[in-house]
Amino acid sequence: MGLCKCPKRRVTNLFCFEHRVNVCEHCMVTNHPKCIVQSYILWLHDHDYNPICTLCSVNLSEGDCVRLTCYHMYHWTCLDKYARELPATTAPAGYTCPTCKERIFPDSKLVSPVADVLREKLAGVNWARAGLGLPLLSEDREQKPEQEHPSLRIETTSYQNHTTSSPSTTTSRSGSNVNSVHTNINNVHLNNQKVGPPYSIVNIDSSMGLSQPTSRKVCEAYDDPKEISFDHDENKYRRKSAIEWFLRWWKLIVSPPTRRRNSPGPLYKRYAVLGIMGILAFIGILILFSWLGRMATDGDPSYDLHADPNILVADKSAGATYLYCCFKSRDKIFSNHAIIVTGCDSGLGYSLALHCRQLGAIVIASVLQIDGPGAKQLENENVLVYPLDVTNIKSIENFANSVRTILTQNNLVLRCLINNAAVMIFGEFEWQTDEQLRNQVEVNLLGTMRITQELMPMIRTHFSRIIVISSHCNIQPIPGVAAYSGTKAALNAWATAIRMELKKHGIKVVCLIPVLIILNEVYTLMFAVYIFAVLFIAKSMQAYVPCDGKPAPTNVKILGCDNLPCNLVRGTNVEANVDFKAVANTKTLKPVVDVDLGNSHLQYPLPEQNACKNLVSGQCPLQNGQAATYYLKMPVLKSYPKVALTIQLSLVDENNNSQVCFKIPAKVVD
């Protein structure tokens, strides 16, 4: 829906495809007699238009046109010819629009300017007079297809045009003068009933007397549909760019309308806008010169605040240089910067420690197992490695004292603390033991709080940054890690709170979510570890026996196990040597670890799925009867509960046939 631009300002849903404006039926008759006009919805679907007569494929401007009540336009001669070709016995309902098949004859109760003009046009031919309920005309009075009867032609040339300077001019008429307005449209009498002229078409004769005063105003129409000059509004249907919107707003501020020019509001707004633009320009100049200065001094070692002895804080002449170097130095990592990373045994903490060391920083890494492979590899990369158990207060104090000693003796600056230490246990919340739940809370939440609180004096002294490694489970919790998700959500809330608390000290707190390392392989491996831990909940036990119908080993040696059931110490690895003879020629071997719970049977995938790599004696491919020894290594985590279980190990070949199989009853102990 929209408003027509004519003085009547009628609400309409009609749209001129040629001039691209909303039009009412009054304007359609006067200003748009040969334009393509349809509903605005049709314009939204297809804004292309073709101004031709669909009956003769000739432009509508070439001849006299007529518009039906369905708003389709045709040449009058084409429509007359089309109707005359129909059979003489055609009923009025058979005369339909060639395009939409709606009735040509308007309904007798329809009050519309378009319908009025159409009725006057149809009243000149006998084939239409029957449909209108009018008597037939004689041959000499009927309009022929070649020319139009002069007495029925609607005169529009006498309409007065508006000038561009006064599009809304009105002329007063008295009631008697309006009733006496002369039209060239003859009234048709039928059964002594008078059919009046169209109510929306008023032909104003300039020769009529207008001397008598009147209070009634009649709006003059426009008769130049091709060059509409009275509408000076911008095209509201054209998409405007951001610059045009800004210029329009700026015009309202700089040159307000006359009615608002004398008020103090626009004056204040004008000065406020100028002030804001000046501030923005000043900031832009500072950024530009700062960028140019960095480009010129990036490779100059004399601008290193800690390496250049000529730059002194007490020197007033070097104050500007000192401030610049202070801000510039925070963008680089120097050799006297120290970074603390917790939980560096493996995974993200291990990678962060190596990356920071490659950038040139002094990295202080904490590990849970000081003799582990991760700690040894970090020491080879010149990383300072120290043991830390975030669940032990004494271990935290010892680690903080070591950090304080390193910073003091080597005159280092603590740049950042990265809290990475965490533990995740897969499994539904109901399945996890109290010890497992407590361990996750102690490590993930309380451990991070304790180590941060212990190092806080050094962090405040060096204006360090605190980085808390969170998890995507903080944003979207995942079933199977309910406890872990809860600890990470609490960790994020804690980091948000201390960020506001430490802001007054110039300390920044960052909560990092490393979503890029969340892979399906990680979930698969962790869930497999959890399944292996859940298997320990079984209460059934079996004696050591060979597998039914499968070849048995020649010898099995389990390190640290002299009697059955074997004791699996938490935090250690189960190591065993299995001697066997191949029962068939095989090229590959795959280890399969099964746990039998009596009424359930589950598999646990070992980290190394190629058993040929763990053959101590013999090598693949194996021949039938060839002896070999397989080395088994299985980790027992601290999170495993203290229960008994039966483990079955099988080595299968490429045909999924077992080469050796045996069972071991065991229990988990401290």
CA pair distance 181, 205, nearest whole angstrom: 7
Q: Measuring CA to CA, how many Å separate 570 from each of 154, 171, 635, 639?
A: 106, 104, 9, 8
Please give the average per-residue pLDDT across 634-656, as a whole number: 81
At residue 162, the pLDDT reads 36
Residue 571 has pLDDT above 60, yes or no: yes
**H or E element at residue 462:** helix 447-462
* DSSP-H helix ranges across 123-211: 126-132, 175-179
By the 10 Å C-beta count (0-12 exposed, 13-18 middle, 19+ buried), 471 is classed as: buried
Which of 394, 396, 342, 340 lies closest to 367 in space, CA to CA?
342
Choose among 163, 164, 161: nearest CA to 232: 164
Structure tokens at 607: 């980290």
In contact, 648 and 524? CB cutoff 8 Å: no
How far apart are alpha carbons 118 and 76 in whole angstroms? 10
Backbone angles phi, psi at 573, to 5 degrees: -115, 140
Amino acid, res. 417: L
Q: How far apart are CA 50 and CA 578, in angstroms?
A: 89
Q: Identify the pLDDT of residue 597.
A: 53
**Residue 339 DSSP code:** E
**Is the confidence at residue 320, as pLDDT, over 60?**
no
User: How far is 234 from 47, CA to CA, in rounded Å?
Assistant: 19
Using the predicted structure, report yes or no on whether residue 75 has a pLDDT greater than 80. yes
CA distances from 432 to 178, 437, 447, 502, 604 (A): 95, 7, 20, 36, 19
Nearest to 573 by CA among 560, 555, 564, 557: 560
CATH topology of domain 334-520: Rossmann fold (3.40.50)
pLDDT tens, position by position, 145-154: 554 433 333 3
With vertex at residue 343, the alpha carbon angle to CA 340 and CA 345, rounded to the nearest 5 degrees, is: 115
Cα–Cα distance measured from residue 374 to residue 354, given in angstroms and rounded to the nearest whole number: 11
Output the CA–CA distances (angstroms, integers) from residue 663 to 353, 535, 557, 645, in the order listed.
42, 15, 13, 10
Give residue 328's pLDDT.
52
* Alpha carbons 225 and 29: distance in angstroms, whole number: 10
Q: Is residue 98 reached through a cis peptide bond, with omega within 30 degrees of 0 on the bond before it?
A: no
Residue with tokens 């069972």: 663
Bond into 621 cis (ω within 30): yes
Query: Are residues 667 and 600 in contact, defined by beta-carbon separation less than 8 angstroms?
Result: no
10-14, 212-216, 231-235, 297-301: which is most confident:
10-14
CA distances from 243 to 172, 598, 606, 618, 649 (A): 45, 77, 64, 79, 74
Q: What fold, for 545-668?
A: Immunoglobulin-like (2.60.40)
- With beta carbons less than 8 A apart as the criterion, state whether 294 and 281 touch: no
CA 546 to chain centre: 59
d(CA 74, CA 98): 10
Q: Would you state the pLDDT for residue 530?
A: 53
Give the span between the Cα atoms of 83 and 414, in whole angstroms.
Answer: 96
- For residue 528, pLDDT over 90 is answered with no
* Per-residue model confidence as pLDDT tens digits over 250-269: 777 767 665 555 566 656 66
Q: 334-520 and 545-668 share one CATH topology?
A: no
Asked whether residue 503 carries a pLDDT value surpassing 60, the answer given is yes
Kindly report the number of other CB atoms within 10 A of residue 300's CB atom: 9
Dist CA 500 CA 509 (whole Å) = 9
In sequence order, what are the beta bridge partners of 586?
A: 622
Domain spans of the chain, in order of start: 2-141, 334-520, 545-668
Checking if the pLDDT of 618 tops 80, the result is: yes
What pLDDT shows up at residue 474? Answer: 76
Give me the helices (H) in 108-174, please: 113-122, 126-132
CA distance 659 to 584: 8
pLDDT for residue 449 is more than 70: yes
3-state secondary structure of 181: coil
CA-based torsion, 503, 508, 509, 512: positive or negative: positive
Judged on CB neighbours under 10 Å (0-12, 13-18, 19+), 211 is: exposed
What is the CB neighbour count within 10 angstroms for residue 521?
7
- Note the pLDDT tens digit of each residue in 125-177: 888 888 888 888 877 677 665 544 333 333 333 333 333 333 333 333 333 33
Return the minimum-mean-pLDDT range out of 75-89, 218-232, 492-506: 218-232
Q: How confident is the model at residue 451 (pLDDT cuts 50, 70, 90)?
A: very high
- Mean confidence (pLDDT) of the chain: 75
Give yes or no for residue 417 having a pLDDT over 90: yes
DSSP conformation letters of 500-537: HHSGGGT-EEEEE--GGG--HHHHHHHHHHHHHHHGGG
Average pLDDT of the segment spanning 598-618: 76
For residues 123 and 188, give the distance between their C-alpha atoms in angstroms, rounded to a whole number: 9
Alpha helix ranges (H) inside 137-257 = 175-179, 242-254
The predicted model gives 476-485 an average pLDDT of: 84
